[in-house]
Amino acid sequence: MKQNKVPKATLQRYPIYLKALRKLHHMGVERIMSRELGNFVDIESTTIRRDFSFIGSLGKQGYGYDVASLIEVFNGQLGVNFDEKLILVGAGNLGRALMNYNRWNHVVGEIVCAFDTDNDKIGTLSEVPVYHLRDLKQYLPKDCRIAILTVSGNAQETVDLLIEAGIVGIVNFTHEHIQAPKGVIIRTVDVVSTIQELIFQVNNF
Amino acid sequence: MKQNKVPKATLQRYPIYLKALRKLHHMGVERIMSRELGNFVDIESTTIRRDFSFIGSLGKQGYGYDVASLIEVFNGQLGVNFDEKLILVGAGNLGRALMNYNRWNHVVGEIVCAFDTDNDKIGTLSEVPVYHLRDLKQYLPKDCRIAILTVSGNAQETVDLLIEAGIVGIVNFTHEHIQAPKGVIIRTVDVVSTIQELIFQVNNF
DNA sequence: AAACATTTGTGATATGATGTACAAGGGTGA
DNA sequence: TCACCCTTGTACATCATATCACAAATGTTT
């Protein structure tokens, strides 16, 4: 990484680029220009070039970008190794749905194991072992940094446990607002809030 | 609404405020100051005050905000009527999970009906009728504006159909990139991208 | 009732993101 | 090999958003 100061807005667009590039690669596209990619993902070409420039000089003038090596760079340089170990905390309805919906295997990593506080949930679910949350430290993979949180209660308490165990990134599917110290990053995915925002925007057009 | 120019960034925070205010209300809190609310949701108090000011003068100087009436304003003025009619398009694994996970009933509205192209899916699922997508126009509720998209293929094609039928807001759970004309708002919810962004941030701290 | 202690709402300012314009330099074809 | 064309990468300008600082207004206390 060139610098250590990539704008937040740019960071949010990297996944979009990566997704698009994978699709293009799959379609057999070998090289692409910022303009084309811009049309594809609905982002100004100049914004794309600037975003890329934070990583380095990835393109060739008068030629464009090589799709394969661009994907390579995004994966490697940015740290998306396909085997990022993820844990799922909360094996309820949503948790199970996410496990079944394992489209992300070999794209961002895989769910190594799950945890729950309900004894009935302990066992194996969709080939993923489910342990009791009290055994978190015992079963948490060494290099696991990211947890997917789908518990239905005591969210904050659970978060505190996770952080203490070394988790530094949490994808929060909970409806609760949770807090974390600096250094731990939380991204909330909330259908309700998303729909609300949509309604606000629609009413505001 | 005071003006018709609420910043996008503000619009994205309204759901956060609303969620927090509901929780506070539930906890019995009757009044709150921007500073407190700021601590609660991790947003600068001054940002909160300005965000609120786009709607009107909601607070009292030297006193703060009345929680109940603030919720009232958000619901009414901003158009979150609890019975916003939603449709679900795609009754696969994820779609069904979302239907079961109907926490948003009476919070933003309810899923009135679902559509799918697979004949095996037609019928009733979790008390929600599932129709064939070809009958969209027939069964689409009159005042339905928002669709939740969970199809596993032909996303763009489906989107075009929805827009033609009058849908103006789409919550996109698809992995595909979809495009829409101006006036139609799309919000993508993608677990994979969320995790990727998290990894980028964690690696970048 | 008057003085005080608070907290809002908002101009002014600083920071961050996006868009414009173009120099630099590699690819392409004669 | 050389000249031309094209696209990148970035300085500069513009726009959007967040923060600061404070006057105005209200509740509270004496």
Contact between chains at B18 and A108 (C-beta distance less than 8 A): no
Please list every residue in chain B whose beta carbon sits closer than 8 Å to the beta carbon of residue A2.
Answer: none
pLDDT tens profile A152-177: 889 999 999 999 999 999 999 988 88
Using a CB-CB cut-off of 8 Å, the residues of chain A touching B19 are 175, 177, 190, 192-193
Contacts of A27 (CB under 8 A, 6+ apart): none
User: Which residue on chain B is closest to A184 by alpha carbon?
Assistant: B202
Q: Which nucleotide is nearest to A50 (CA to C1')?
A: D9
Asked whether the beta carbons of B25 and B73 are under 8 A apart, the reply is no
Chain B nearest-CA residue for A167: B202
Between CA A41 and CA A49, with CA A46 as vertex, the angle to 5 degrees is 85
What pLDDT is stored for residue B126 in this prediction? Answer: 82
Where helices occur in A32-90 by DSSP H, the ranges are: 34-41, 45-53, 67-78
CA nearest neighbour of B38 among B10, B11, B16: B16
What are A18-50's pLDDT values in tens digits? 989 999 999 999 999 999 999 999 999 999 999
Cα A174 to chain centroid, rounded: 16
CB contact under 8 A, A195 and B104: yes
Instruction: Please give the pLDDT value at position A182.
Output: 81
| Alpha carbons B205 and B198: distance in angstroms, whole number | 10
The two structure tokens encoding residue B122? 């037609």
Q: What pLDDT does residue A38 have?
A: 95
In chain B, which residues have pLDDT < 70? Answer: 1-4, 101-106, 205
Portion of chain B with pLDDT greater than 90, in percent: 63
Token code pair at residue A44? 């100004």
pLDDT at A103: 63
pLDDT tens column, B125-135? 888 999 999 99
Separation between Cα atoms, residue A176 and residue B31, nearest integer Å: 20
Residue A139 scores a pLDDT above 90: yes
Express each pLDDT in A38-97 by its tens digit: 999 999 999 999 999 999 899 999 999 999 999 999 888 777 777 789 999 999 888 888
Q: Supply angle C-alpha A204, B1, B3, rounded to 5.
A: 80
Closest CB to A197 among B100, B109, B187: B187
Residue B30's Cβ-count burial label (10 Å; 0-12, 13-18, 19+) is: exposed
Q: What backbone phi and psi angles, to 5 degrees, belong to A130?
A: -115, 120
- Would you call B14 and A200 a contact, using CB atoms and an 8 Å cutoff? yes
Rounded CA-CA distance A32/A42 in Å is 15
Q: Is residue B84 a contact partner of residue A199, using CB atoms and an 8 Å limit?
A: yes
Tokens coding A86:
């993820």
> Alpha-carbon distance B82 to A29, whole Å?
47
The predicted structure's pLDDT at residue B106 = 67
State whether the beta carbon of A53 lies below 7 angstroms from any atom of strand D: yes
Residue type for position B125: L
- Class of residue B119 by CB neighbours under 10 A (exposed 0-12, middle 13-18, buried 19+): exposed
Angle between helices A45-53 and A8-26 (to 10 degrees): 100
Reply yes or no on whether the pLDDT at A1 is more than 60.
no
Whether pLDDT at A2 is above 50: no
Nearest nt to the B13 alpha carbon by C1': D17
What was the pLDDT predicted at A102?
60
Contacts of A95 in chain B (CB under 8 A): none
DSSP label of B92: S
pLDDT at A104: 64
